[in-house]
Structure 1
Amino acid sequence: MQMQRVENMERHAFLDEYEKLVFRMNTPRVVIDNGVCPTATIVKVDHARKHGILLEAVQILTDLNLSVKKAHISSDGKWFMDVFHVTDQNGKKLTDESVISYMEQSLGTIHYTSTSDYTGLTALELTGTDRVGLLSEVFAVLANLQCNVVEAKVWTHNGRIASLIYVKDCNSGSPIEDSQQIDTIEARLRNVLKGDNDIRSAKTSVSLAVTHTERRLHQMMFADRDYEREPVLQLNGGSPVVTVQHWADYSAVNVECKDRTKLLFDVVCTLTDMEYVVYHATIDTTGDRASLEFWIRHTDGTPINSEAERQRVILCLQAAVERRASEGVRLELCTADRPGLVAEVTRTFRENGLNVTRAEISTTLGTAFNVFYMTDAAGNPADAKIIVAVRQRIGLSELQVKELPLIYHRSPESEEEEAGGVAGAVLLSLGSIVKRNLYNLGLI
């Protein structure tokens, strides 16, 4: 009897150690180093291959508003090693220990965590044809229906609009769950989106839970096939240049465009949702330009296998980069929140002939912080006198003109000097490495 008890204890101990081993094998190993590179914080993540896990890692960096200046992603069998050179929005290394600790913890548990930041809210998804004043009409309807806007993000691209709006009931402060009320909200919003010429493509839906907001916006725009439509605005700095080539068993995708925050997320998000797996990648930025190279396959292990598919990938990646391109004047509103605030502000924009090309609306502890990107009705830069008039009407101290975050602080020469150092050595040209290895294996 004593022997059996001992054997059981040993068996439980063995199972405990086995479970710990399995957990360690499936848990990403994270190293955050501030000493190797003089101009950026190095983040290394070693993890098992799993579709979508690269996107999860990039998403964590993006949600912390970090800029990825360089990156190296490489697959070795069933494992990945991701190396990111990141800075804050001012182009500086990370020094806040709470941010570093949060990032380390989040990256170390990306296999196991899946939380929503919008619990207790009702999510409204809207897509349709963009027009001047549309956003004002949407928020006016919500205010009229006693919906308090807590968070919202709005993107426009190629004449289309996609929006995720998180609301709660003005009276109870609870999510909206009454089916009759939901039907009324959907019907009223659909009528606004339809306008006079969008009878078929205008869509509204209500849900209590959604995926990551910006990923969902990409999915909504993709489903709306915005990438097939003619551009309405000409982007400053030109459209992104995307090429797709076939190399042995891989498809090599290159993206050259103007650098900005969240660029890597937008591209990886689109590749992931199109069911491609990134096996190797390098990302490099010099000045205000970004160069991204990905070696991809389908989830079944096959490369891109037709000219039609190749062209579709090019169009979709161009659209992914352009959707977040911030055209127009950036206006920031910071004031005490109140019911109908967003409806009042957007009505003022409409009455002065201003068009909202992108918007981010948030509320924290009774304070509203809203960001709007504005052009005139034709998509041209807004007249300075009109901007002043709008600010005077809303409040000069509350509505301010802001520049985009200064994420470019180094000259191309300093970038080249860094590339010759220790940090640059980590980021060898992956294209050269992969091509050489494929050649040595006799695949090229």
Structure 2
Amino acid sequence: MDDEFAKLIRRINPPRVVIDNDSCEDATVIQVDRINKHGILLEVVQVLTDLNLVIKKAYISSDGGWFMDVFNVVDCEGKKITDGELISYIQKKLESDDGFVPSLKGMVGLVPSEEHTSIELAGTDRPGLLSEVCAVLANLDCNVVNAEIWTHNARAAAVVHVTDNTTGCAIKDPKRLALIKELLCNVLKGNNDLKTAKMSLSPPGVTHRERRLHQIMFDNRDYEKIEESEGGRVQNNSCKPHVIVSDCNEKHYTVITMRSKDRPKLLFDIVCTLTDMQYVVFHGVVHTGRMEAYQEFYIRHIDGVPMRSEAERERVMQCLEAAIERRGSEGLELELCAEDRIGLLSDITRVFRENSLCIKRAEISTKGGKAKDTFYVTDVTGNPVDPKIVDSIRRQIQQGILQVKLNSNPITKPQEENTISFLLGNFFKCRTLPNFLIKSYS
């Protein structure tokens, strides 16, 4: 009966998405109105981030069984969305109940696992780990077509898509898959890491790679600090995110406020973590400046209650700090463009290892016979890379072109709290829920 009633409500009030380029001078405004359900905020944010759109502002409200969000977005160049086909795709995707909308010229959508073998890795990070993993795959005639690697708090996680080098298809032979698993696990256990080292195959179907990385890191408890020797590393605490968890007793919410360095996909990372931890965002505001992002959310656990203990608050703070930091572009950004071939990634990562570079994060992609790989690297102590080493690596790598994109270790001083802070808190103090509306500011 509940399912049939929900279907009736959807027919009476179908999802509605309005995309407006006139009301805001410097951004496209996307308003989403639809029936509320757990995870709907993540679904919407995921659609926008998968299109490489940057969310500059957001206003969230989902009380009373109805979901209403307003997003101010720009493209990766900071411009409004003007492409008619892209606007139509966004509207259809966000209004779709089943989530199925044909991809837009191949730029959106996840590759079904039948076209490749998706390998998930987790373990303790160490210098040269990615190089060893890539060497094993190359020796087993596995071609890496796409991959993403994250490291955080001395943990490492990766989702790697491979094909058979001979057939160009997914690897399905159980004996060969067992051998791949055995050898990769041996690499991950190189430091006697018997507890956290894991290698598994993604389940059949479609997997969202970045969400899986968050889940793998969370399962690996990367939010827990590991004491380690810094080896002369210069600490920069000014770039650390600031997360505060407090109570809104009047409305029985837990309030989370966050200040951090702004970057692409920041909102996705935070909402992904809250959703996987079984929390629901009822109201929220997101505001980004030139360097800093401010976010405030009013949440409850999925069972309808706010946080009850100090231990729970502390754990949520740790997990949100980890979610913000995981994708933080630590180190020097290097981009490699070259003709793809079997073993290319193994050769590149070996050169990095031989020159004492640590890969903190990497994004690997191939398309049309071309490899485009992005690496974020530091030296073995975690400090900035000597430019002479980069020049040396360029001379050693003859297969492609290695470019230095940027050094992503800026020091940003947190701004003083301004009128945006506790914006929704002020609203809640002077409004009751039935009269509460979130206004779109431009």
Task: Give the TM-score band, short-chain normalised.
Answer: 0.7 to 0.9
Counterpart for residue 210 of structure 2: 214
Residue 60, structure 1, aligned to residue 55, structure 2: no
Pairwise CA distance, 1:110: 5.3
Indicate yes or no: 2:361 matched with 1:374: no
Residue correspondence of structure 1 range 229-378 to structure 2 within 5 A: 229-230=225-226, 234=235, 237-248=238-249, 249-378=252-381
The code of the aligned residue for 2:391 comes to V
Which runs of 5 or more structure 2 residues have no equivalent in the other structure?
102-108, 409-414, 436-442
Asked if 2 retains the 8 angstrom alpha-carbon contact of 1:34 and 1:42, the reply is yes
Q: 1:272 to 1:439 in 2, by over 3 A?
A: closer
Judged with a 3 Å threshold, the aligned counterparts in structure 2 of structure 1 residues 382 and 19 are, in CA distance, closer, same or farther, namely: closer
2: distance between equivalents of 1:274 and 1:118?
A: 26
Q: CA deviation at 1:76?
A: 3.9
Quick check: 1:235–1:325 contact (8 Å CA) kept in 2? no
| Separation in structure 1 between the aligned mates of residue 205 and residue 314 of structure 2, nearest angstrom | 34
Partner deviation per Cα, 1:60-119 (whole Å, 9 max, x = no partner): 111111111110001241101100011112222122223222222211215433974243
Distance 2:308 2:158 in 1: 34
Inter-CA distance 241–19: structure 2 relative to 1 (3 Å threshold): closer
Residues 132 and 355 in structure 1, CA contact (< 8 A), matched pair in contact too: yes
* 1:24 CA displacement: 4.2
Change (3 A) 1:107 1:395: farther
Are residues 43 and 397 of structure 1, via their aligned partners in 2, closer, same or farther at CA, if it must alter by over 3 Å? same
Q: Alpha-carbon deviation of 1:434?
A: 2.4
List aligned pairs for 1:123-142, cutoff 5 A. 123-142=118-137
Contact 1:235–1:327 at 8 Å: present in 2 too?
A: no
Instruction: State the partner residue of 1:95.
Output: 82
Q: Show structure 1 runs of 5+ residues with no match.
A: 1-17, 406-411
Task: Measure, in 2, the Cα distance between the counterparts of 1:165 and 1:210.
Answer: 14
Counterpart of 1:431 (choices 418, 425, 428) is 425
Measure, in 2, the Cα distance between the counterparts of 1:325 and 1:151: 20
TM value normalised by structure 2 = 0.86
Instruction: Give 1 or 2 for the bigger CA radius of gyration.
Output: 1
| TM-score when normalising by structure 1 | 0.86
Answer with 394-403 or 353-362: which moved more: 394-403
Give the Cα–Cα distance (whole angstroms) in 1 for the partners of residues 345 and 434 of structure 2. Answer: 61
| Conserved 8 A contact 1:250-1:296 | yes
Of 259-268 and 332-341, more deviation after overlay is shown by 332-341
After TM superposition, give the deviation of residue 366 of structure 1 in Å: 1.3
**Counterpart-to-counterpart distance in 1, 2:61 and 2:182:** 48
Please say which of residues 80-89 and 192-201 is displaced more in the overlay: 192-201
RMSD over equivalenced CA pairs, Å: 2.6
* 1:433 counterpart SS class: helix
What is the deviation of 1:355?
0.7
Identity %: 52
> 1:10 matched to which residue of 2?
none
Q: 1:170 aligns with which of 165, 168, 178?
A: 165
Question: Aligned partners of 1:395 and 1:241: how far apart in 2?
Answer: 43
- Superposition map of 1:11-160 within 5 A: 23-25=10-12, 27-109=14-96, 111-113=98-100, 116-119=110-113, 120-160=115-155
How far is 1:277 from its partner?
Answer: 0.5
